[in-house]
Amino acid sequence: MNREDLLQEVVQPIDIKAFDVVGLVESMSQMAFQARNLGRAAKIYDEMLQDSDCAIILCLAGSLFSAGLKNVVYDLITHNMVDAIVSTGANIVDQDFFEALGFRHYVGDPLADDEMLRQERIDRIYDTYIDEDQLRVCDMTIAEIANSLEKRPYSSREFIQEMGAYLEKQKTDTQSVVLAAYQHQVPIFVPAFSDCSAGFGLVHHQWNSPESYLTIDSVGDFRELTQCKLAAKYTGLVMIGGGVPKNFAQDTVVAAEMLGFDVTMHKYTIQITVADERDGALSGSTLREAHSWGKVNKNVEQMVFSEATLALPLIAGYAYGKGNWRDRSVRRLAQLFDKTQLVSAR
């Protein structure tokens, strides 16, 4: 098969608004094993939405948007169900921004001949395909944005905001997380920003402008996300996968304390993961373990050991179906960073 044959069937994103899963999830909560855990996690997410003092931070790891979950996160933003996002770079740049440029992810075969795919310039993520030539366009668009900006350190949030502004000028007609977050003033943080197409574009930018170039300030990311924590009386974490986004968001409690603030642990926490806790790695470490570090309130937490494409539509669909997002106050946390002065420790 040639490249045209392989890049035919587009992965279709799921629309949580098209289904009423409330009754299904409530029935699952009366079952056992991960069905019961999922039901409790969905109810905790709904509790977050009902708590007028709670800011919700969504953490994203894994290849989620290429698998069809992009519009779920888009709906969480546009329906005021999330106030800040911490993500891996792949979801935000290689997958969301990539599709906002007009490209797509395609249905693939996990048993495909990978040498043949390499020869055809097709990249594989398990059972999805990506056009490598289109990814290079994404890389170079990041370089183009970098070339147009003032040469100074930027937090990833600042740079992603510029990506949103770029998409708004391009009048993209694709449902984009980056664009929706820009328009709804939901800050997006990507602590490992160079570990994706952004990295290739920024290397190109720096290589070709050796005397004057912009950089990404990961410490600025941590400070700004800590400011989001400080701006709310309580916080809730909705974590898909683990890794850097999970730890980065959890650590804001400790960072705030180091700055002299008396803050609460994250009041509500749920995590969807397939990782195992027994190897001591972060992605599978339990939320109760995080309580020992002073990061997570152990009274309102739930782990769901499930693959994200199965669990997230049900949990998000339940919270959407309950409708408590309609009465939430809009936080617009990106406005925190319009001010040049840092918050002083009390």
Tens-place pLDDT, residues 216-258: 999 999 999 999 999 999 999 999 999 999 999 999 999 999 9
Express as a percent the part of the chain with pLDDT over 70. Answer: 98
- The DSSP-derived string for 298-334 is TTSEEEEES-HHHHHHHHHHHHHHH-GGGGPPP--GG
Quick: pLDDT tens for 9-37: 999 999 999 999 999 999 999 999 999 99
- 6 and 120 in contact (C-beta within 8 Å)? yes
Q: pLDDT tens for residues 75-125?
A: 999 999 999 999 999 999 999 999 999 999 999 999 999 999 999 999 999
| Per-residue pLDDT, 263 | 96
Question: Chain-wide mean pLDDT for the chain?
Answer: 95
pLDDT at residue 278, rounded to an integer: 83
pLDDT at 344 over 60: no
Q: Which helix (H) or strand (E) holds 123?
A: strand 122-125
Give the model's pLDDT for residue 5. Answer: 94
What's the pLDDT tens digit per position in 127-178? Answer: 999 999 999 999 999 999 999 999 999 999 999 999 999 999 999 888 999 9
Question: What value does the mean pLDDT take over residues 283-307?
Answer: 89
Judge whether 84 and 186 are in contact, CB under 8 Å.
yes
Per-residue pLDDT, 341: 39
d(C-alpha 83, C-alpha 54), whole Å: 9
Instruction: Residue 126: count other Cβ atoms within 10 Å of its Cβ.
Output: 10
Look up residue 245 and give its two tokens. Answer: 């986004």
Residue among 281, 196, 274 nearest 239 (CA)? 274
Residue 235 backbone dihedrals phi, psi, to 5 degrees = -135, 150
pLDDT at 292 exceeding the cut of 50: yes
- Identified catalytic residue from 70, 229, 267, 295: 295
d(CA 319, CA 324) in angstroms, rounded, equals 7
* Residue 130, C-beta contacts closer than 8 angstroms, at least 6 positions apart: 66, 94, 98, 105, 106, 122, 123, 124
Report whether pLDDT(346) > 90.
no
Task: Determine the Cα–Cα distance for residues 28 and 97; give it in Å rounded to an integer.
Answer: 35
Residues in the chain: 346
**298 flagged as catalytic:** no
